[in-house]
Structure 1
């Protein structure tokens, strides 16, 4: 029997790559997505389409109620999405307080319930400056807690923790992945904006890999 793994799957290019890496490595994959009130919820539709095409058992959990507790993020509140690269200090407005701890806690519980020994998510080095819950120290501590929080230990794994978006895309291209089946933009409009930090990082990754991004942009 294949080992089971829960993959936190947002529909973005990082988790898309993690999902396919888990499949490539022979795991029985259980994708788990969350609707936490993100304005770019279009990513959830993309995730559903990918999982349907792969015949995977995909769960989408509605946790929008937590937004009454987690104020101040431009991803969930009525605050303009900042423009510019992730290196810019203004990108800190996209932090959702404690998001990954909440999502990982739910994913670990799901893993225990289905007998999976691992939870995988797409934290990477490009996130370290802006997002505390993507840093190695956080992943290590969450992994420690996941070993003792239940009678069944679960390992928290971030395959690209010490890689950047450029490396992630390079790995996905080697696997022959189609990144038109992903959504990255923080603005949930018809086309990607090309200006937010998420778009800027994505465009940079494609440029430095010498490949054209298959998505259309309002402007890039």
Structure 2
């Protein structure tokens, strides 16, 4: 099946890319620039897709950044929290309605290239704080997508009941180049190793009993979109 994958260049979506490639799908990766704090993930996405010879257009939605403010990914004045996520610090990373926007754009792209399916890498570890990673949200979006056009497009979320450690295990089975993926929200030359998403990444490798090839800066200062972090 021809499938459009919402692709960030992160660990989860890269494993999804390899997972669906192994299942024989004809893949089209769609990355989205929504004015996020850094461009590291977009650069990694482009490099991985080029290596796999997978089409990877990037939708430039950066003009909507001011409309999605109030979080650490789109508002430079809000610091990226460090340490293990708590409910409050994790909420600071929630970009309003991000997955609905992404899936809507992916649906339009899928219809334009006559793809029968779109997929995104929502997983169970995201459910507690990110409402747009819940099964209920995905079910509602699947219904809306089916009504959006005369042609039918399915919504796939194969990792929705998996933990991040499960995703790492699957990635190891598929020989995913983990070191080429990007998770850090700070966006330096290396993963900072201190923010919540870096800690979750490190813990997932530990729980999966898979060696983590990611170089972490730890105490080094990070940058976002070319500007030194204060």
1-structure distance, mates of 2:66, 2:27? 32
In the alignment, which of 27, 36, 47 is matched to residue 29 of structure 1? Answer: 27
2-structure distance, mates of 1:10, 1:125? 18
Q: By how many angstroms is 1:135 displaced?
A: 0.8
Match of 2:11? 13
Unaligned 5+ segments in structure 1 are none
For the residue of structure 2 that corresponds to 1:203, the secondary structure is helix
For the residue of structure 1 that corresponds to 2:20, the secondary structure is helix
CA contact (8 A) 1:40 1:185 kept: no
Match of 2:61? 63
- Per-residue deviation, residues 126-153 of structure 1 (Å, max 9, x unmatched): 1111211111110010001111111111
2-structure distance, mates of 1:210, 1:217? 18
Matched ranges for 1:148-187 at <5 A: 148-187=147-186
TM-score by length of 1: 0.96
Match of 2:82? 83
For the residue of structure 1 that corresponds to 2:161, the secondary structure is coil
For the residue of structure 2 that corresponds to 1:211, the secondary structure is coil
2-structure distance, mates of 1:70, 1:215? 30
2-structure distance, mates of 1:87, 1:24? 36
Q: By how many angstroms is 1:22 displaced?
A: 1.1
For the residue of structure 2 that corresponds to 1:160, the secondary structure is coil
1-structure distance, mates of 2:155, 2:195? 29
CA contact (8 A) 1:4 1:116 kept: yes
- Per-residue deviation, residues 73-111 of structure 1 (Å, max 9, x unmatched): 100102100112234421100000011000100000100
After TM superposition, what 4+ stretches of structure 1 lie above 6 angstroms from structure 2?
Answer: none
Rate the CA distance shift 1:124–1:86 in 2: closer, same or farther, 3 A. Answer: farther
CA contact (8 A) 2:36 2:65 kept: no
CA contact (8 A) 1:120 1:157 kept: yes
More moved, 33-42 vs 98-107: 33-42
2-structure distance, mates of 1:10, 1:85? 22
For the residue of structure 2 that corresponds to 1:38, the secondary structure is coil
Cα RMSD for the two superposed structures: 1.2
Unaligned 5+ segments in structure 2 are 220-230
CA contact (8 A) 2:168 2:210 kept: no
Matched ranges for 1:45-124 at <5 A: 45-78=43-76, 79-124=78-123
